Amino acid sequence: MKVEGEQPSASTPPSPPLTATQRLKELEEQLRQQQARLAEVAQQEAAELEAATDHSIREYLLQQLEGSLIDDRCSQITKHMAEMILLEHKITSSQFTNWDDRFVRLERRVDELSAQQTKILKSIQGLTAQLAAAKLITPQPPLLQPKSSPHSSPPSSPHLSHAGSVVDQYAHLMQEPFGLPNRPTEHHIELLPGAVPPKGHIYRMSPAELEELRKQLETLTSKGWIRPSTSEFGAPVLFVPKGNGEFRMCIDYRGLNKITRKSTEPLPRIDDLLDMVQGCTVFSKVDLKSGYHQIEMVEEDVYKTAFKTRYGTYEFPVMPFGLCNAPGTFQTEMHRIFRPYLDKFMVVYLDDILVFSKTAREHAEHLALVLQSLRDSQYKINREKSSFGVPSVIYLGHVISGDGLAPEAAKIAAIQEWPQPQTVRDVRSFMGLASYYRKFVRNFSAVAAPLTNLTKKDTPFLWSLHCQLAFTRLKKALTRAPILKLPDPTLPFILTTDASQYGIGEVLQQDDGNGLRPVEFMSKKIKTQKLQDSTYEKELYALVCALKHWKHFLLGRHFKIFSDHSTLQWTKSQGELNDKLARYIQFIGMFDFELKPKKGCYNKVADALSRRPDSFALISSTHSFGEETRHTIARLLPQDETFGPIVRNLQADSNSEPGYALSSDLLYTCSRGEERLCIPQDQRLRTLLMSECHDAHGHFGFLKSYAALSQHFFWKEMRSEMLHYVDTCELCQRNKFSVNLLWDCSNPFPHLMALLNLCR
């Protein structure tokens, strides 16, 4: 019998060489065998989990298995089969040992098989090319494509070449627009009965702003977009600095919008869009250049657009920015020029134009029709903000590709990237958000039980595997159906905003009859330069961020805003503004909303998003309170006279020191359900923390500074040291007026003496 690897004997006649067709069949058979072995490996590993009993461990192992198969090296059928096995059986904690090692071995075996599979595929492709060159076979697409290297350059797409050739034929559409358009659609401003023209005033401007005003007036006049006016109307003009040092001219039309009758224009449904793009693989997004200025005003309403400047009063023969009904007029015009193609291979949502097709050749034809319509209507395109012939595109907060419609990463990032809670306060903040939607989460109490137990009184804060699994499952539940829903334009939108000291949080919701359901979440840290802003400015900044983020949903329709800062309801009637507030108010004036105050205790979601645990990290990093400082605290704690013995006792027995807990080499004191970080005796370290809570917070007095410090930290002499720090603050002593003035009683009081004389 022949031994494997043994050379054939000389007497054995050599086997005849295989033909090209036989060799191809042999390689394809080897490929099928490799695929079967891949499936067998995954099935074998999944079958080993059959003796299981603990639900949480099963979930963990399922996550590990999903991670091993995430690169599609095994078929989806195998993955689903493994999930079924895991769901039918449970795992005991005794069988949990060394599972990570098993998955590592599984991954290595899959890598080896994948390498062999790639080698076979390359051989098949080479042999197929030779047979096709000899005209012996007709080339067919391969069964599988070898996995490409992450560093390899992407292949050139035919989509872009087809679309690019079409765009080149319409290069004149990229020119600057000018002059008065001649189109059927015109913008009309209908005033409320008995309305009185608003009286604007001229703001003072710096020399640089006056120079920019002259330039922009000349540019707009040369294009025919403004002309001198004698109108009794006159909105004020102000300039807002851009990031590059230039200025943006803003016209404050709040007074005009207040007396204008509001109109509505039906907008496309997002869920209808999902049905229309099914099966499409090529997309183009078109952005118009100065779109509003390409629509003419009704002549009898031009005088209402007047604005006052130092160099005279001007008015717009074209539709300006800032008018409340301008979005509806623009939507009407887009429907007029694209009506033959709407819902067939394109959709228009305000100024967002999307073209979608199934093939590159078909897309070139569709794109040509759209561009031809724009040319016939004399519109111009912003080439930098448009994209043509791409496989995926971001449209209305969703990523559209050949796989369908998916939520944009930023849509759910505020929840998905929520950091792991480090204190009981962090847990309560997250649970407040999650509990708001608890009726939409199946078995919410059971899922959240490990986190709920952490918030109980006198319970040490220990983050276990069960806590992590509950935390992960709740985040997944909050970002999936039935909680997160597609927006329905037939239902009113409700925007809830909140701003804390270091962050802002917003949630866009709709009421479908079963309660408020979120459409999107948003959370972001407040920039360092905004930390000293007033509470009103921060709340206004949060509102502007939300309106910018969800402009495509809210512009052109009436909606409600809930905020715990009641003074925001006067934003549309505020008097003279500085540059920053003017920029905010000018943008807010484009929206039609009703603002209702809502107390923080009822504003759970937005409040929690604005107070995410990682928001405080911005201040920490700004003042070098980061990982280095944490290492310093961990290094000094065992040597500290007060906290050192406590640390050593907890290292020996975690229950030896009631009221204290050790986590990641840091010591926390637990009192009234709150955890505070224990700070060892180190003057430089303690001074740094006191400066964070006094200097960075705006040099408040002792009570507010001490409250901020004691909320997060603890040491025995903290109160007296904070009092001394505030009393000796050089900036406070120099700029703050003392109310404890001592009167010199040796001097007479003239008015009192005069009063006594009169009484005599």
Asked if pLDDT for residue 83 goes beyond 70, the answer is no
| Predicted local distance difference test score (pLDDT) of residue 35 | 66
The CA dihedral of 310, 316, 317, 322, to the nearest 10 degrees, is 180
Confidence of residue 616 (pLDDT cuts 50, 70, 90): very low
The stretch 258-268 carries a mean pLDDT of 76
SS3 string, 213-238, reads HHHHHHHHHHCCCCEECCCCCEECEE
The stretch 10-39 carries a mean pLDDT of 65
Q: What is the pLDDT of residues 172-208, one digit of tens each?
A: 888 888 888 778 889 999 999 988 888 777 877 878 8
Confidence of residue 96 (pLDDT cuts 50, 70, 90): very low
| Predicted local distance difference test score (pLDDT) of residue 73 | 42
More confident residue, 556 or 742: 556
What's domain 186-407's architecture? Roll (3.10)
Check whether the bond before 482 is cis (ω within 30° of 0).
yes
Asked if pLDDT for residue 493 goes beyond 80, the answer is yes
More confident residue, 275 or 345: 345
Cα–Cα distance for residue pair 339/332, rounded to 1 Å: 10
Task: Tell me which of 58-62, 463-467, 661-665, 734-738 is least confident.
Answer: 58-62
Which residue type sits at 280? C
Pairing of the two strands 558-563 and 493-499:
parallel
Asked if pLDDT for residue 385 goes beyond 80, the answer is yes
Paired tokens of 77: 């059928």
In angstroms, the first-to-last Cα distance of the chain is 141
Burial class, 643, CB count within 10 angstroms (exposed 0-12 / middle 13-18 / buried 19+): buried
Q: What is the pLDDT of residues 355-381, one digit of tens each?
A: 999 888 899 999 999 999 998 888 888
The rounded mean pLDDT for the chain is 72
Task: Decide: helix, strand or coil at residue 318.
Answer: strand
Residue 675 phi, psi dihedral angles, 5° rounding: -110, 135
Cα–Cα distance for residue pair 23/127, rounded to 1 Å: 8
With beta carbons less than 8 A apart as the criterion, state whether 337 and 377 touch: yes
What's domain 493-614's architecture? 2-Layer Sandwich (3.30)
Asked if pLDDT for residue 501 goes beyond 70, the answer is no
Residues 6+ apart with CB under 8 A from 654: 460, 462, 661, 662
State the sign of the Cα–Cα–Cα–Cα dihedral 7, 11, 13, 14. Answer: positive
Cα–Cα distance for residue pair 89/58, rounded to 1 Å: 8
| Predicted local distance difference test score (pLDDT) of residue 30 | 72
| Predicted local distance difference test score (pLDDT) of residue 218 | 92
| Predicted local distance difference test score (pLDDT) of residue 739 | 44
| Predicted local distance difference test score (pLDDT) of residue 640 | 92
Domains of the chain by residue range: 20-133, 186-407, 421-478, 493-614, 623-735
Q: How many residues does the chain have?
A: 760
Residues 6+ apart with CB under 8 A from 589: 252, 253, 254, 257, 322, 324, 572
Q: Residue 621: which H helix or E strand, with range?
A: helix 617-622
Cα–Cα distance for residue pair 751/675, rounded to 1 Å: 57
With beta carbons less than 8 A apart as the criterion, state whether 632 and 450 touch: no
Q: What is the pLDDT of residues 525-556, one digit of tens each?
A: 666 555 556 677 777 888 888 888 787 778 76
Mean pLDDT is highest, among 87-96, 479-488, 608-617, for: 479-488
| Predicted local distance difference test score (pLDDT) of residue 448 | 82
pTM for the full predicted model: 0.46
With beta carbons less than 8 A apart as the criterion, state whether 49 and 91 touch: yes
DSSP 226: -
| Predicted local distance difference test score (pLDDT) of residue 149 | 37
Q: What is the pLDDT of residues 420-466, one digit of tens each?
A: 888 888 888 788 777 766 655 666 777 788 888 888 877 778 887 78
Confidence of residue 125 (pLDDT cuts 50, 70, 90): low
Phi-psi map region of 511: left, alpha, beta (phi>0 left; psi -120 to 50 alpha): beta
Residue 67, CA distances (Å) to 38, 63, 110 in order: 16, 6, 13
Query: What residue has token string 């199946």?
Result: 442
**β-bridge mates for residue 30, sequence order:** none
Task: Decide: helix, strand or coil at residue 487.
Answer: coil
| Predicted local distance difference test score (pLDDT) of residue 623 | 34
Q: Residue 510: which H helix or E strand, with range?
A: strand 503-511
| Predicted local distance difference test score (pLDDT) of residue 302 | 93
Residue among 368, 370, 371, 176 nearest 289 (CA)? 176
Q: What is the pLDDT of residues 557-579, one digit of tens each?
A: 788 888 776 666 555 555 555 66
Which residue type sits at 485? K
Task: Tell me which of 219-233, 263-277, 357-371 is least confident.
Answer: 263-277
With beta carbons less than 8 A apart as the criterion, state whether 485 and 512 touch: yes
| Predicted local distance difference test score (pLDDT) of residue 744 | 46
Asked if pLDDT for residue 299 goes beyond 70, the answer is yes
Asked if pLDDT for residue 220 goes beyond 80, the answer is yes
Residue among 468, 399, 477 nearest 434 (CA)? 477
More confident residue, 425 or 403: 425
| Predicted local distance difference test score (pLDDT) of residue 757 | 45
The stretch 322-330 carries a mean pLDDT of 85
What's domain 623-735's architecture? Orthogonal Bundle (1.10)
The stretch 96-116 carries a mean pLDDT of 55
Q: What is the pLDDT of residues 713-728, one digit of tens each?
A: 899 889 999 998 888 8
- Give the CA angle between residues 671, 673, 678 to the nearest 5°: 45
Asked if pLDDT for residue 276 goes beyond 60, the answer is yes
